[in-house]
Structure 1
Amino acid sequence: MAAEPSSQIYVQTMCLCVPLRLGVLISAVLTFLTSLVYVANRQLWEYTFRHCMGGYASSSRVVIGAIEVTGLIVGLLGIVGTWYQKQDYIISFNLWQFARLGAMSFMYVVDIPLLTHCEDWVNDIKHMTEVHGWNQLMYDIAMAGGCDGERVRFLVLSFLTLAVFMYLTWVTLRYQEFMSCVPKHLLRVPKDLSSGAFYAHSLGERAHLSGVYGQHDHNPMQSGQQGGFGSVPL
Structure 2
Amino acid sequence: MGGKLRSQTKSRGRSRKKTRKRPESEISSTMLHAQEMSQEMSEEPTEHEVTEDKPIIVSEREAVREALEMVAKMPYPGVGLRTIAGILRGEIRANWLSYIARTESWGVFFPNPLPVIENFVRELVRLGYLEGIHFVRLTEKGQRVLENKEPPAIRKKLKLVSQKFRPLLWKLLLLRARLVNKHKAPGLFKDELILQLIEKQPDSLDELKKLKGVGKFIAQNLGEEIVHTILSFQNAQEENRKG
Could you state the TM-score of these two structures normalised by the residue count of structure 1?
0.30
* Higher RCO (C-alpha 8 Å, min separation 6): 2
Could you state the TM-score of these two structures normalised by the residue count of structure 2?
0.30
Give the structure with the larger helix fraction: 1
